Amino acid sequence: MSLQYNILWVDDRKEDFQLLDIDKDIESYVRGLFFIPHIDFFDNVEDAVKSSRSKKYDVIFSDYNIEEQKDGQAFITEIRNNNVKAEVLFYSALHEPPAKGWDRISFLRLQSADAYEDLKTKMKSVIDLTIEKLNDLTNLRGLVMAEVSELDNLMEDIIREFYSKKKSDSVEWNDLKKKVIKEAQKSTLKKIKNGVVDIVKKDGRKKDVTIEKGECPKNCTHVWMDAKNIDEVISNFEFDSSKKAHTINEILRKVTISKKFVFKDYDENIIKVRNDLAHSRSVMKKGQEILATKKKGEKSFTESDLIAIRKSIVKYHELFEELLEVVKTA
């Protein structure tokens, strides 16, 4: 489950479509639905089939008369033999729709003077059909879990890239300790006081550690305060999505990108949405699927809600991709 929307397109007239910007129009349409489009355009069946073995496609567009020796019937047989279950749209100016009924396959006869416009309209209709199938809570959960995990990975890459170039006594490291690690320390001290976690002490003479109960001594500090490299921080499960986002906020005080990052917005639109979906169950109520949580009661998701979630994920994906490129060259 991903916001990456992969299109397999097979036609030996690739340049014609590109001259008319049909591929760009389709990409723009997919972006407008807040998915990230990627088109693999092949001019022969062999390369298309080979690609389908190693990549998952959401939809397939193909000329029915692809090659002299192979038509759409041969192509779809090979595709389905590879267990590819994507929706397929065949089009042709020469053939009538095949008499044989196929599962998840559409056919468009190109006859009118506006044949290319008709084709674009049909392509968009098939894309809508594939995306509509994602608009249920089960698919939404899978999509959000996968994409927020990917955002976490991107944040880790940015943080590692930025701080690995800085010395542990640099201004950047000191600011990280003051703004992010100090907050983590406060949170941990509170948990120790409440008996939620124990104190872990390193023994300087041994490789072992000792675990103690009770109040933390006055000189008790978070282990990250003594970190010499950023991997000592990133590799710890305590460095969660929220702390990563706070760290991104600190990095953006020192570098400039075209997009704006606000931690509060990221927390509200990404982290809390992920947490709500992860710690809830779907129930049917009056014929509608409802998300039920222990703390917040019940919530239904409209199509506009689903679009808003995808929009937020795409927004931050693009922001983090840009930031990663900036810190790589900084």
3-state secondary structure 131-162: HHCCCCHHHHHHHHHHHHHHHHHHHHHHHHHH
| pLDDT for 206 | 47
| pLDDT for 137 | 72
User: 116-146 burial string, b = 16+ CB within 10 Å, else e?
Assistant: eebbbebbbebbeebbeebeebeebbebbee
Return d(Cα 266, Cα 245) in angstroms, integer.
8
Question: Hunting for tokens 């389905």 — which residue is that?
Answer: 80
Low-confidence stretches of the chain (pLDDT beneath 50): 205-206, 209
Cut 0.85: pTM above it: no
Pick the CATH number of 4-132 from 3.40.50.2300, 3.30.1330.10, 1.10.10.410, 3.40.91.10: 3.40.50.2300
Q: How far is CA 263 from CA 54, 242, 271, in A?
A: 37, 9, 10
Query: What 3-state class would DSSP assign to 5?
Result: strand
| pLDDT for 265 | 96
Return d(Cα 309, Cα 315) in angstroms, integer.
10
| pLDDT for 164 | 92
| pLDDT for 225 | 87
Percent of the chain's residues with pLDDT above 70 = 85
The pLDDT tens digits of the residues spanning 178-202 come to: 999 988 888 877 777 766 666 565 5
Return d(Cα 253, Cα 280) in angstroms, integer.
36
Delimit the domains of the chain by residue range.
Answer: 4-132, 140-164+241-330, 165-228
Per DSSP, the residues of 285-322 read ETTEEEEEETTTEEEE--HHHHHHHHHHHHHHHHHHHH
| pLDDT for 81 | 85
Strands 297-300 and 288-293: antiparallel
The pLDDT tens digits of the residues spanning 200-246 come to: 655 554 455 455 566 666 667 888 888 888 998 998 888 999 999 99
Return d(Cα 120, Cα 132) in angstroms, integer.
18
* 174: Cβ contacts below 8 Å, ≥ 6 apart: none
